[in-house]
Chain A
Amino acid sequence: MSDMASHGRAGYLPGFLRRADPAVLTAFACIVVLLFLGSLYSRNFLSPEYLLQQLKVASFLGVIATGMMLVVLLGQIDLSVPWTITAGAMMACAAAAYGPVGTALAMPFGILCGVLIGLVNGIGVAYLRIPSMIITLATNAVVQGLMVVYTGGSSPQDTATPAMRYVATGSILPGVPNAVIVWALVGIAMVFLLTRTGFGRTIYGIGNRERAAYLSGINTRRVVLIAFAMCGGLAAFGGVLLAGYASKAAQSMGDAYLLPSIAAVVLGGTSILGGRGSYLGTVAGVILITLLQSILSVMQMPEAGRQIIYGIVIVAMLLLYGRTPASR
């Protein structure tokens, strides 16, 4: 029956759309609608400057959501993202205080800290069998505590290195922000990982049916561990970029990214239960969330109203997607 339906639909869709997930198409359609609504309010919404600026802002979320997507595809979740971001930013800035060597190693060091946090999550989920919702929440709290101890509770005095600032705010190609290029590179690597490597196949396999993957002789625990480490690393990388963007790290700078990173992944059609989703969808979800935030703030909605509308829109969109029959 479902076979017939999908064949029928394919009949009137142009070729390149035939293979696309309906959820991804919906997400892109929502982007177009948002831009249209924005342009009714102000013509500036369709200007190249504005769009490029949005893309730049989106790229920070994009890098973070990339990692989140990996664990969501496994059917897990990473709630330690907020303070992994902050820790990545703070540790990178802290390294910058240690002379030229520290400056040179600032970015890798920040990312390494994120990988370590991710490894703790991964060991907890894969080997100790703690539900990811619990262990990552706990890790988040521990990292928050460690960062507060490190900074003494106030925002640290260290500043971002020039390299961090250049990666986040410069533009090596005229007109194209470096942050966007970074996101593009991360995205291409991710698409390659998910579609062309054995590791990518096992991620989908475990997300669909961990038992079947295990009985196929896959070392499922190692795959889960690596995915969480990558998620931590990418969140910290996002934090490093944000620190470069703002020139310094700040307390709870990552808090604003937890819901958007999960929402972007899920709005992009990745099943929150794991096993299904494409990176193109995550790209759409990230842009969608960024535009929504931007339009709400341009409309000079008071902060409280913005939060309410933002939350309602996300729930509404998720309901919309949730009603479409799952392919399983």
Chain B
Amino acid sequence: MDDAVPLLRMEGISKRYGGVKALEKADLSVNAGSIHAILGENGAGKSTLIKILSGVVGPDEGRILLDGREVTFASPAAANQAGIVCVFQELSLVPELSVADNIVISDPPQRFGMIDHKAQRRIAEEALARAGAADIHPRALVKDLPLSRRQIVEIAKALARKPRILILDEATSALTAADVAKVFDVCKRLRSEGLALLYISHRMNEIRELADECTVFRNGHNVASYRAGTRSDDEVIEMMIGRQYSHVFPAKPDSGSASKSAPVLEARSLSWAGRLHDISLTLHPGEVVGLGGLDGQGQRELLLAFFGVLRGLGGQVLIDGKTVSIDSPAAARAAGIGMALIPEDRKTEGLMLPMTVRENLSFASLDRITKAGIVDRDQEQELIDDMVRLLAIKTAGLDIPVGALSGGNQQKVVIAKWLMRQPRIILLNDPTRGIDVGTKQEIYQLLRKLADTGAAILFYSTDYDELIGCCDRVLVLYDGAVRRELVGAEITEHALIASALNIEAEGQSAMQEVNA
């Protein structure tokens, strides 16, 4: 395979976001007429690689060679011109427009300055036929199609741009089994037509069936490339893990000691809008429970459901053994429930960036520090001083905009604003994303300290190390349901990844299905 000049080579690609290395000296080589799978856990650099290849972001260093000639893409349109087209995971279709309109949306055929509907329809029909979906009518509105058909239209839209390299980023995650089979047929036919396909998926069985070549990414670097079928699943998982960890985690108490007390929070068959399926769990005072699994398997929705943000929740939530109905964050934080949520995106959900550190810190506690509606400044100052000390928040002052703080300190402010209420149940949605290692470690210590003082902590993280290092138990979610519960020593990277990918790994102990 290595004799000819590859269709695409990426050499020494590096990309940093602020202080975070997303890619470091990554290489990738893709041949025409082959399907190349890219593997790696969350944050391994796969999506950054795809973004660079499709012209969404530019690399900090490194070069891209197409047919042996160096190219640079200033925009996705430039990448399209060069024949690189990406089918993104998030659907990019306009629901109110027809299928044909969507397929030609970036470059509609024109006659006398107006859209040539005949040509448009012909292009759409051709593209749909190539995508194996000739049954979709070009004039149908996208909003009338089910999700799996929309994904097919998305692929047809990509094909209409006449790609030489087609990137499928989790393109099958929304599809039914029948549609997945169709997509596979399309992929295989495109391969025989000489296209190169880059296939990103977390589904190992799909990769086994489809891929010719595989490249494993870890920590922003390609660690191994191999011909499909030459490595076992276990070996692949080892390749995805195998790194040295530098995190320092606090010691865990004896496992099981916390779960003997009565649960403070209990969920009974929670479901919501097809995104959460029959989730039951208990959370005891003094324990740190992790939510694991791949990104977007319902972890966020579960936390939002507890916090009263989601409408139309099925099932029951019990606090101290009593059924409660939490219909808003205001209800969730109220006395008697005492819940706090550290949201996912501190810039849009946790903080008001232009407002001062002081205003942000006391914002969730305004009801406690006001008397007859008037802010008691002395009390406010006292509480803020406590929190700044407890979390060691580094700021040039309390009256500067919180947006001027470093990411780690901003995150500390988000946590502090909730700790000020002394919550009994603390929900955290990936709280260490994009912050420095030092602050991460402080947060790990803090979580354990809070648990030791009787708080119950439910902690979603996309970083497996964190789950292993911090949690007494981990619930692994897949497709909106709890797939496995790992307790104490069972929480290993191997077990986490195997259950996140929903495959049976070697040496796996008896399945502990929570929702049997």
Q: Which residues of A contact B (CB under 8 A)?
A: 2-3, 196-199, 201-202, 204-205, 208-209, 211-219, 275-276, 327-328
A212 x B373 contact (CB < 8 A): no
Contact residue among A197, A217, A328 (Cβ-Cβ distance under 8 Å from B330):
A217
The answer to whether B330 touches A327, judged by C-beta atoms less than 8 angstroms apart, is no
Known: A213-B352, A215-B341, A217-B332. 6 other contacts (CB 8 A): A197-B373, A198-B366, A204-B359, A212-B349, A216-B417, A218-B330
Contact A216 B375 (CB under 8 A): no
B374 and A196 within 8 A (CB): yes
Contact between A211 and B375, CB atoms less than 8 A apart: no
A213's partner among B307, B363, B374 (CB-CB below 8 A) is B363
**Residue pair B375, A327 in contact (C-beta under 8 Å):** no
| Residues on the B chain within 8 Å of A3, using CB | 400, 404
* Cβ–Cβ contact B374 & A215, under 8 A: no
* A197-B374, A201-B359, A328-B403 known; A215+B353 contact, CB < 8 A: no
Whether the Cβ atoms of B329 and A209 lie closer than 8 Å is no
Residue of A nearest to B309 (CB): A215
CB nearest to B362 among chain A residues: A201
CB<8 Å pairs between A and B, sample of 8:
A196-B375, A197-B373, A201-B366, A209-B349, A214-B328, A215-B329, A276-B354, A327-B354
CB-defined interface of B342-378 with A at 8 Å, one 1/0 digit per residue? 0100001111111100010011101101100111000
CA distance A199 to B366 in the complex (A): 9
Q: Which of B309, B364, B374, B401 contacts A216 (CB 8 A)?
A: B364
Q: How far is it, in angstroms, between the C-alpha of A219 and the C-alpha of B331 when the chains are bound?
A: 9
A158→B309 CA distance, assembly (Å): 52
Provide the bound-state CA to CA distance between A80 and B151, in Å. 45
Centre residue among A208, A212, A276 by max chain B CB count within 10 A: A212
Q: Label chain A's interface by main secondary structure.
A: helix
Q: Mark B143-183, 1 if CB is under 8 A from A, else 0.
A: 00000000000000000000000000000000000000000
Q: Which residue of the partner chain B has the closest CB to A199?
A: B373
CA A201 to CA B333, docked complex, whole Å: 18
Contact A202 B366 (CB under 8 A): yes
Interface size class of B (residues with CB under 8 A): 20 to 34
Q: Mark B415-439, 1 if CB is under 8 A from A, else 0.
A: 0010000000000000000000000
Contact of A208 among B330, B355, B364, B366 (CB under 8 A): B355
- Check B401–A209 contact: CB distance below 8 A: no
Which residues of chain B are near A198, meaning CB under 8 Å? 366-367, 369-370, 373-375
Complex interface: chain A residues within 8 A of B307 (CB):
215
Q: How far is the CA of A211 from the CA of B329 in the complex (A)?
A: 11
The one of A204, A208, A215 in contact with B350, judged by C-beta atoms closer than 8 angstroms, is: A215
Contact call B343/A215, Cβ cutoff below 8 A: yes
CB-nearest residue of chain A relative to B353?
Answer: A328
B353 neighbours in A (Cβ, 8 Å): 208-209, 328
B373-A201 in contact (CB<8A):
no
Contacts of B333 in A (CB 8 A): 217
Residue of A with least CB distance to B341: A215
Q: How far is the CA of A251 from the CA of B352 in the complex (A)?
A: 43
Docked pose: A211 CA to B341 CA in angstroms: 13
Q: How far is the CB of A214 from chain B (nearest CB, A)?
A: 6
A238 vs B359: C-alpha distance when bound (angstroms): 32
Q: Which interface residue of A198, A219, A327 has the most chain B CB atoms within 10 A?
A: A198
Q: Which residues of B contact A213 (CB under 8 A)?
A: 352, 363
B352 lies within 8 A of A211 (CB): no
Kindly state the separation between the CA atoms of A197 and B334 in the bound complex, as whole angstroms.
20
Known contacts A205-B363, A209-B348, A327-B401: does B329 contact A217 (CB below 8 Å)? Answer: yes
Contact of B354 among A202, A216, A275 (CB under 8 A): A275
Give the residue of A201, A202, A214, A275 whose beta carbon is less than 8 angstroms from that of B329.
A214
Chain B residue at minimum C-beta to C-beta distance from A200: B375
Contact partners of A2 in chain B: CB under 8 A: 404
Ranked nearest first, the 10 interchain pairs of A and B with the lowest CB-CB distance are A208-B352, A198-B366, A217-B333, A198-B370, A216-B364, A217-B329, A328-B354, A217-B330, A209-B352, A197-B373
The one of A196, A204, A214, A219 in contact with B355, judged by C-beta atoms closer than 8 angstroms, is A204
Write the nearest CB–CB distance from B290 to chain A, whole angstroms.
22
Contacts of B362 in A (CB 8 A): 201
CA distance A213 to B328 in the complex (A): 12
CA distance A218 to B417 in the complex (A): 13
CA distance A209 to B348 in the complex (A): 7
Residues of B within 8 A of A208 (CB): 352-355
**Could you say which residues of chain B place their CB within 8 Å of the CB of A218?**
329-330, 363, 366
Contact A219 B330 (CB under 8 A): yes
Output the nearest chain B residue to A221 by Cβ-Cβ distance. B328
* Distance in Å: Cβ of B397 to nearest Cβ of chain A: 11
Instruction: For residue B88, give the distance in angstroms from its CB to the closest CB of chain A.
Output: 24
What chain A residues lie within 8 Å of B350 (beta carbons)? 212, 215
Assuming A3-B404, A197-B375, A219-B330, is B359 touching A212 (CB within 8 A)?
A: no
A245 to B140, CA, bound (A): 63
Residue on B nearest A275 in the bound complex, by CB: B354
Residues of B within 8 A of A276 (CB): 354
Determine which residue in B352, B359, B370, B417 has the highest number of CB atoms from chain A within 10 A of its CB, and name it.
B352
Question: Of B309, B352, B370, which one neighbours A212 at CB under 8 angstroms?
Answer: B352
Choice from B370, B401, B403, B417 contacting A197 with Cβ under 8 Å: B370
Bound CA span A208–B402, Å: 12
Instruction: Note all chain B residues with C-beta closer than 8 A to A201.
Output: 359, 362-363, 366, 375
Instruction: State in angstroms the CA–CA spacing of A204 and B375 once bound together.
Output: 15
Q: Taking A196-B375, A204-B359 as contacts, is the C-beta distance between A211 and B349 under 8 angstroms?
A: yes
CB proximity to A under 8 Å, residues B387-420:
400-401, 403-404, 417
Residues of B within 8 A of A328 (CB): 353-354, 403
Tell me the smallest distance from the CB of A182 to a CB of chain B, in Å.
23
How many angstroms between the C-alpha atoms of A196 and B401 in the bound complex?
18
Give A218 to B366 CA distance when docked, in angstroms: 9
* B417 neighbours in A (Cβ, 8 Å): 216
Residue from B348, B366, B374, B401 whose CB has the most chain A CB atoms within 10 Å: B366
Across-interface contacts of B343 in A (CB, < 8 A): 212, 215
**For the complex, what is the distance from the CA of A327 to the CA of B355, rounded to whole Å?**
9
> Nearest Cβ distance between residue B463 and chain A, in whole angstroms?
23
Q: How far is the CA of A198 from the CA of B370 in the complex (A)?
A: 6
Q: Report the minimal beta-carbon distance from B59 to chain A, rounded to whole angstroms.
A: 25
A211→B348 contact, CB < 8 A: yes
Residues of B within 8 A of A219 (CB): 328, 330
